[in-house]
Structure 1
Amino acid sequence: MTDVRPDNRPTGSLRDRIAAELTRARDRSVRLTEAVDDDDLVRQHSPIMSPLVWDLAHVGNQEELWLVRDVGGREPVRQDIDDLYDAFKHPRRDRPALPLLGPAEARRYVATVRDKVFDLLDGVRFDGSRLVADGFAFGMIAQHEQQHDETMLATHQLRTGPPVLSAPAPPPSVRPVAGEVLVPAGRFTMGTSTDPWALDNERPGHPVELPAYVIDAAPVTNGEYLAFVADGGYADPRWWSEPGWRHRSSAGLTAPLHWRRDGTDWGYTRFGRYAPLVPDEPVVHVGFHEAEAYATWAGKRLPTEAEWEKAARWDPDSGRSRRYPWGDEDPTPEHANLGQRHLAPAPVGAYPAGASPLGVHQLIGDVWEWTSSPFLGYPGFAAFPYREYSEVFFGSDYRILRGGSFGTDPVACRGTFRNWDLPIRRQIFSGFRCARDARPEEIA
C-alpha cells in the first residue's frame, strides 16, 4: 500500500522530490551566506567572482522569472531588479558598484519568491508544456541554485580571514588505485534524450565511434603533480602549448592555486586553513593549460570529452550507457564525494563502489576534470529554454570539464553533465586525469 501524506499526496511523488531539491538547495545557500557577516556578503573577494549577496539575490530572481512568472503566470515580485541580476548585462567585476539588494533585503526577497513557488507547486500540472513536463523548470532552478552554491563555495575559498566553514574530513583510501585502463574501440551513446532534468547541452543522445584508448584509473594526485613541479615543469616551455606558456609567463604561475612552499615542503590553504599536501589526494585548482602541460610532460594527453564520457558511462557487458559509472541509481556517500559533505577531494581509492565497470575510479565528484574538447553543441542540439544557458558560450574559447567536484550537488551532477570554463581559470575545483592512444600491442 502506498503511504499517503496528510494532504493526500502520495509520498515519493514528483512534487515531493521537487520540494525536497528546492529546500536542500536553499538550505545550502543559507549556510554559505550566514557563515559570514554582512560586510563579507557585500565585499568582492576576487574580481572574477561576484559578491556573495549578488549570488543570493540572483538565484531568487531566476526562480521568480522562470517559476513565479513563466510557470505560475503570477504577478512579478520585484520586476525592478531584473536588470541588476542579469548575468549577461553586468560583468562580475562591475557588480559591487550596482545598487544591489542589501543582505537583509535579499533574504526577504528570496524567501518571498520561495513562498510563492511552493504555493504554485501544489497546483501545477506536469503534463503540459515542455517547460513543466516532468517538472523540468523546477529541476532547472534547483540545479541553477546548486551551481551558484558551488560558485559561492569557490568564493569562500578565495576570501581572506579566519575560517568560517567546516566539515568532516573525506574518507580514507580503502584500496590502491593506480595505472591505466584500456577502453576498447567501438560505439557508445553520448549524451541523453531521456533524462528528464538534463539540460540542453546534454542533449540529444547520439552515437559516437571511438578508437581504442587508455585512460588513467584515477585523477592525477598531488604527489604526482608535485613531481612535475619539482622537475621544473613550470619553467620549461617544452611541455606547454603556445597560449599556455604565454599565460604561465604573464600570470607568473609556479604551482597550483593555493599551494605554498613551507620550507622544503609544500602545503595549501583551504577555506582559511593551512595544511601539508596530502600526496594521494587529487590535485585541485589547476587550469586547463597546467593540466595540458602536465599531461605532455608525462608522455600523455588530456582525454577528449567523448573519451571521458565513454569511460564513465559505457557498460561493456550490455553495450548501453549508464547514468553514472556504477549504474543508474542516484549517488550515495559510498559512491562519490559530492554535495559539500567534505571540503576537500578524497584520496584516490576512497570510493571503490563508484568505479566504472572497466575499473576507472572517482569519475564523479572530488574534482572537475579538464578535457581537451571545446564547448560545442551535440548534433541536433536545440537551445531550451533559453540560448543564454549554453549556446552563447559555444566555440573554441572554452574547454569542457566533467564529473563534478566535492562542491557539486548530486542534482547537478551525472555522467552526461557538462561544465565549461576558460582555460586560464583556476578558482574552480578543477583537476584532471590523463589519457593516450592505445598502442597496437595493447589491442591485439
Structure 2
Amino acid sequence: MTIPAASFRHLAPGNLADALCQARNYTLALFERFQAMGLDDPARVPRLSTLNPPLWELGHLAWFAEWYLLRDAKTSAPDSALRHSLLTKGDDWFDSNTVSHRTRWTLGLPSAGALKTYCHEVLDRSLDKLSRTESTDAALYPFRLVLAHEDMHGEALLATLRTLGGELSPAVPLQPTAAWAQGEIRFPGGSFQLGSAAGSGFIFDNEKWAHATHVAAFSMDSTLVSHAQFSEFIDDGGYQKPRYWTEAGRDWLMQQERSAPLDWVRDGRQWRCTRFGETLMLPLQQPVRHVSLYAAQAYCEWAGRRLPTEAEWELAACSGHPAFRWGDLWEWTCSPFLPYPGFSADGYREYSAPWFDTHQVVRGASFATPARFRSVRFRNFFLPQRDDVFIGFRTCAR
C-alpha cells in the first residue's frame, strides 16, 4: 500500500512556503535541461499537440501564480484581476484561456533570462504575501492552487523532456520503479463515500462532493500490469488482431501504425525501451508504461478481464489493504470523465468543465508525481489516445 506524505491540501503557511520554493526550483531545473538541448527557443521545439514550448511553460507558471496571488483574481475570467501584470504583455502571452495552443510557438516571448527573473520576482512577492496570510483553508486556497498547478505542470514538463529525448541530471533525479509481486484482491463491495467531503482542506472542483456510491463485489489486480504480461499480449499478435480493439482503438492503431507501447524498441527477438535518451533492456517485472486507453482495453479483452471503474479504484485505494500497490504510474479506468452530482466550477473555471465527456478518468499517481500531491481522491483525466504521459493500468475480473 502506498502511504502519501504530508498533503499539500493541508499545508500550513510555513510548510507551504517551502513547497512553493521547491516546486519553482524543480521547474527551473527542468528548464535548464531544455536549455542544454537548445530547446529554450520555441522555434526549435516540435509542434506537438501534447506539449508546449518550455519557454512558454516557464512564463505561464509564473503568470498563473501572479494572477491568483499578486493580482488577487478570484476567477480565471480575463477581467477578474485587480492589478496589471508585472510583464507588459503578460496576459497576451501566458493566459492559457485566451492564448491558443497553436500560437504558443510564435508569440515573440521574452528571453529565458527575463522570464527567470520574472519567476523569481513573482515567487518572492508571493512568499511575502503568504507570510502575512492567516492560516485558514479559505485564505490559503489560492496558494495551494498555485502549488498544485506547478506540481502538475512539473510532471508534464518531465514528460515533455522524455518525449524530446532529453536526459536527466542530478538536479532532476528519478527514482527507479520497483518490481512488485503480482496478485489479486477480492473486495466485497458495498456502499462508500466517493469524492471529497467538506472540511478536507484544498479540494478540486471535480471531487465535489462526497456522495454515497454502491459498488458490487469485485476482484482487482494488486499491482499494475507488467512488461512481462504485456509482452505475452504482443507475442500473441495482440496488435494485429482487430477483435481485441474497440472501433475507436482500431482507428487510433491505424493512424499510429503501432505494434508495441510508445517507448519499446525491437532488438532482434527481444524488446528494449528508451527512457530519457537511454536505451535499456525491458524491465520485465516493472509495470508497463506509455499505453493508451485503447491498448489497455485491448489487453483486457485479450486477457478476459476489464479495467476498473473509478469507484472501484477509489474503494480499493481507501480500503487500507496492505497488498494494494498504487503510485508507480497513473492508471486508466473504464469511467468517462463526468461531473459528480451537483458539480459547479471553482474560480479556476476551465480546470474541469471543458473536459467532461471527452476525457477518461485516470487515478493514482506516478513516480514523477510529488509525494505531497498524491491522493486517493484525486481525479486526473486524459484523452484516450494519450500515451506520452507516465501511465499504465491494472485489471479487474469481468
TM-score for the superposition, normalised by structure 1? 0.80
1:41 aligns with 2:47: no
Deviation per CA, 1:260-293: give whole Å up to 9, x if none.
0011110111000010100110110011000111
Which stretch of the first structure deviates more once superposed, 72-81 or 27-36?
72-81
Please list, as runs of the form range in 1=range in 2, the aligned pairs for 1:280-429 lying within 5 A after superposition: 280-314=285-319, 356-357=320-321, 359-361=323-325, 363=326, 365-395=327-357, 397-429=358-390
Q: Which amino acid letter does the alignment assign opposite residue 20 of structure 2?
A: L
Match of 1:277 among 254, 267, 282: 282
Alpha-carbon displacement from aligned partner over 1:310-358 (angstroms, at most 9, x marks no partner): 11013xxxxxxxxxxxxxxxxxxxxxxxxxxxxxxxxxxxxxxxxx326
Aligned pairs (5 A) from 1:27-38: 27-37=25-35
Q: Secondary structure at the residue paired with 2:152?
A: helix
Indicate which of 211, 215, 218 corresponds to 1:206: 211
Counterpart of 1:433 in structure 2 is 394
Residue in structure 1 matched with residue 176 of structure 2 by the alignment: 170
AA matched with 1:245: R
User: Does the aligned pair in 1 maintain the 2:33–2:166 contact within 8 Å?
Assistant: no
Contact kept? 2:13, 2:135, Cα under 8 Å: no
Looking at structure 1, the residues matched to 128 and 173 of structure 2 have their Cα atoms a distance apart, in angstroms, of 34
Aligned to 1:189: 193
| Rounded Cα–Cα distance in structure 2 between residues aligned with 1:294 and 1:91 | 36
Provide the C-alpha distance between the structure 2 equivalents of 1:300 and 1:171, rounded to a whole number of angstroms.
Answer: 25
What is the CA–CA distance in structure 2 between the aligned matches of 1:16 and 1:390, rounded to whole Å? 29
1:73 positional shift: 6.0
Report the Cα distance in structure 1 between the residues aligned to 2:375 and 2:174, rounded to whole angstroms: 24
1:125 and 2:147 correspond: no
Distance 1:161 1:113 in 2: 28
- The residue matched to 2:359 in structure 1 has which SS? strand
Aligned-partner SS, 2:52 = coil
User: Distance between the aligned counterparts of 2:232 and 2:369, measured in 1?
Assistant: 28
Cα deviation digits, residues 209-238 of structure 1 (max 9, x gap): 011111111100011111111111000011
User: Contact between 1:179 and 1:216, CA under 8 Å: does it hold in 2?
Assistant: yes
Q: Which structure 2 segments of 5+ residues have no match?
A: 1-9, 74-80
How much does 1:86 deviate?
A: 2.1
The structure-2 alpha-carbon separation of the partners of 1:134 and 1:366, relative to structure 1 and needing over 3 Å to count, comes to farther
Aligned equivalent of 2:5? none
Structure-2 separation of matches of 1:93 and 1:430:
25
User: What is the distance in 1 between the residues matched to 2:132 and 2:100?
Assistant: 38
The correspondence for 1:76, drawn from 85, 90, 93, is 85
Partner letter of residue 28 of structure 2?
V
Q: In the TM superposition, what is the alpha-carbon distance from 1:162 to its structure 2 partner? A: 5.9
Deviation at 1:111, TM superposition (A): 1.0
- Label 1:73 to 1:162 Cα distance change in 2 as closer, same or farther (>3 A): closer
Query: 1:317 corresponds to which residue?
Result: none
1:177 Cα deviation after fit: 2.3
SS in 2 for 1:114: helix
Instruction: Classify the secondary structure of the residue corresponding to 1:40.
Output: coil
CA contact (8 A) 2:34 2:161 kept: no
| Residues 33-74 of structure 1 deviation map (CA, whole Å, 9 limit, x = unaligned) | 112327212232451211111111101000000000117966
Matched-pair contact (CA < 8 Å) for 1:36–1:164: no
The one-letter code matched in structure 2 to 1:410 is A
Aligned partners of 2:34 and 2:166 also within 8 Å: no
Number of aligned residue pairs: give it. 376
Greater relative contact order, per chain length (Cα 8 Å cut-off, separation 6+): 2
Indicate the residue corresponding to 1:97 in structure 2. Answer: 106
Equivalent residue of 1:208, what SS? strand
TM-score normalised according to structure 2 size:
0.89
Equivalent pair of 1:142/1:411 in contact (CA under 8 Å) = no
Alpha-carbon distance change, 96 to 45 in structure 1, aligned in 2, over 3 angstroms: same
Q: Is the contact between residue 215 and residue 435 of structure 1 (CA under 8 Å) also seen in structure 2?
A: yes
**What is the DSSP-based 3-state SS (H/G/I as helix, E as strand, rest coil) of the residue aligned with 1:96?**
coil
Give 1:78 deviation, angstroms.
2.2
Q: C-alpha distance in 1, partners of 2:258/2:392? A: 16
Amino acid aligned to 1:53: L
- The 1:207–1:134 alpha-carbon spacing in structure 2 relative to 1, beyond 3 Å, is farther
Give a deviation string over 1:281-309, Cα, whole Å, max 9, x none: 01100110001110111101111111111
Are the equivalent residues in 2 in contact too, given 1:225–1:283 (CA < 8 A)? yes
CA distance change for structure 1 residues 13 and 281 in 2, over 3 Å: closer, same or farther?
closer
Identity %: 35
Post-superposition offset of 1:13:
7.8
Match status 1:235 vs 2:197: no
Q: Give the letter aligned to residue 198 of structure 1.
A: I
Distance 2:303 2:174 in 1: 34
Letter in 2 for 1:182: R
1:50 corresponds to which residue?
A: 52
| Pick aligned residue for 2:18 from 17, 20, 44 | 20
**Secondary structure of 1:235's aligned partner:** coil
What is the CA-CA distance between 1:91 and the residue it aligns to? 4.0
- The code of the aligned residue for 1:105 comes to A
**Displacement of 1:359 after TM fit?**
2.5
Q: What residue in structure 2 maps to residue 62 of structure 1? A: 64
Q: Deviations over 1:171-202 (max 9, x none)?
A: 754xx622311111200111112321221111
Deviations 1:376-426 (A, max 9, x none): 11112221123201111111x110111011111123220001111110111
Q: How far, CA to CA, are the matches of 1:240 and 1:252 in structure 2?
A: 14
